[in-house]
Amino acid sequence: MLEPEKLNLLKMARTPMPFGKYQGRMLVDLPEEYLLWFQRNDSFPKGELGRLMQMVLELKVEGLDALVKPLKR
């Protein structure tokens, strides 16, 4: 079984955005500006989706999102 951190990395790489302008795009591929909009407006979705989106934003801000992209299918 995968450790929670590794599972989260896989989920960020393989979970499609379920709604909005970028529907169908993998979370790790969402533009940083789009994720910053959710942060500024305190409007990340509730639950796991919002948590994953926040983690993607943290990776992008730190310049580490390229490490997750190879995990996409």
Convert the pLDDT of each residue in 52-67 to its tens digit: 999 999 999 999 999 8
* CA 33 vs CA 2, 3, 25, 29, 54: distances in Å: 31, 30, 15, 12, 12
Provide the pLDDT for residue 73. Answer: 77
| Domain range summary for the chain, segments of one domain joined by + | 4-63
Convert the pLDDT of each residue in 20-33 to its tens digit: 999 999 999 999 99
Asked if residues 44 and 53 have their Cβ atoms less than 8 Å apart, the reply is yes
Whether residue 19 is predicted with pLDDT greater than 80 in this model: the reply is: yes
Helix pair angle (47-61, 4-14), 10° resolution: 90
Q: b vs e for 32-67, b when ≥16 Cβ sit within 10 Å of the residue's Cβ? A: eeebeebeeeeebeeeebeebbebbbebbeeeebee
